[in-house]
Amino acid sequence: MATMKAIDIKDGKGPIENMFFTEMPRPKPTHAQALIKVKAFGLNRMDLLQRMGMYPVPPQAPKTMGVEFSGTIEELAGESERGFKKGDAVFGLAYGGAYAEYIAVSTHMLVHKPDELSWEECAGIPETWITALQAMYLVGEFKPGKSILWHAGASSVSIAGQQLSVSDGASATFATARSDDKTEFCVKELGAKAAYNTQTEKWDESVLRDTDGKGVDIIVDYIGADTFAQNLNAAARDARIVNLATLSGGKLKAGQTDADLGAFVRKRIRFEGSSLRSRDEAYQGRLRDQLVEIALPKFRDGSFRSIVEKVFPWEQIQDAHRLMESNKTKGKLICTIP
């Protein structure tokens, strides 16, 4: 049986130091899958949670971490999507398994790698850009002329989201972040109209000021408890609040319970949670198609950027996780496999 190197977790979960290299069987592609020799993979915050045993991994996912990658097709199963062949350079989204030399993944979730982008840039696109597309269009119901606010503005999904919003005619694109360096990045590098430091200002009041009291039409939030009340205040009438994570905690505590719940009725607000990894292949495949249609041409001509903060050789996976935990990054962390 052919084997491969992969990154595993001692005891199945634990701190950074529990990650180690191991040998495991090389996956065999079935049905519509392809076997990919991985060149690079992207890190995501869900990886940190999964490592600690705090992320609900889909039943079809392998235990190995990693959901986005770039590489070359080594083998195709009999039902694979037309248009792919052995040797093709691709990038894609998986339910897991990218922290390894090889990954078996549905061809419905693969995209041909543009010559204009590096392996590292492509490895940082699938999870973040597809999540941004899902939050903005499918859940948030974005249309040109609407305003939108992206929390955690220097995070990878919001970096993608701000570029999408500006490109597709948002009346105004806003962001929040936890430092002046990051808010400046959102305005100068991503085109946000304004970005607010959540540590030094009441960002919801700033949004109302900058929208002449109207509020913002769509809010994409990963924070949870700490932003719940302010989201309701900053939301416009008929606003959509899209919640993708609860980084500040999933339960409201004392001091967070002064939220104006009447805003739900008065403003006709819709608050909706969503996730991507738990979706079925057909749903994810539609988003793959949207990525190819909307974003790929703009990556080719340079209008969109896959912003990579730092590239690590995969032997330094522990250092990569430490940097992600520091919350000091502006863009993707990528690991490469020789």
pLDDT over 80 (residue 254): no
Domain ranges of the chain: 3-125+277-336, 129-273
pLDDT value at residue 170? 98
- Residue range 191-237, pLDDT digits in tens: 999 999 999 999 999 999 999 999 999 999 999 999 999 999 999 99
Name the CATH code of domain 129-273 (choices 3.40.50.10890, 1.10.287.130, 3.30.2130.10, 3.40.50.720).
3.40.50.720
pLDDT category at 275 given cuts 50, 70, 90 is: confident
C-alpha dihedral sign at 143, 145, 151, 153: positive
Closest CA to 124 of 6, 245, 40, 221: 40
pTM: 0.94
Cα three-residue angle 71-72-73, rounded to 5 degrees: 130
Same fold, 3-125+277-336 and 129-273: no
- Residue range 27-69, pLDDT digits in tens: 999 999 999 999 999 999 999 999 999 988 888 889 999 999 9
- The total of other beta-carbon atoms located within 10 Å of residue 120's CB is 20
Closest CA to 202 of 227, 221, 165: 227
Domain covering 3-125+277-336 assigned CATH 3.40.50.300 in the classification: no
Report how far apart, in Å, the C-alpha atoms of 290 and of each of 67, 121, 125, 221, 331 are.
Answer: 18, 19, 13, 22, 22
Report how far apart, in Å, the C-alpha atoms of 134 and of each of 60, 161, 288 are.
Answer: 21, 10, 10
- The total of other beta-carbon atoms located within 10 Å of residue 114's CB is 16
- Residue range 207-219, pLDDT digits in tens: 999 999 999 999 9
The two beta strands, 68-76 and 89-93, are antiparallel
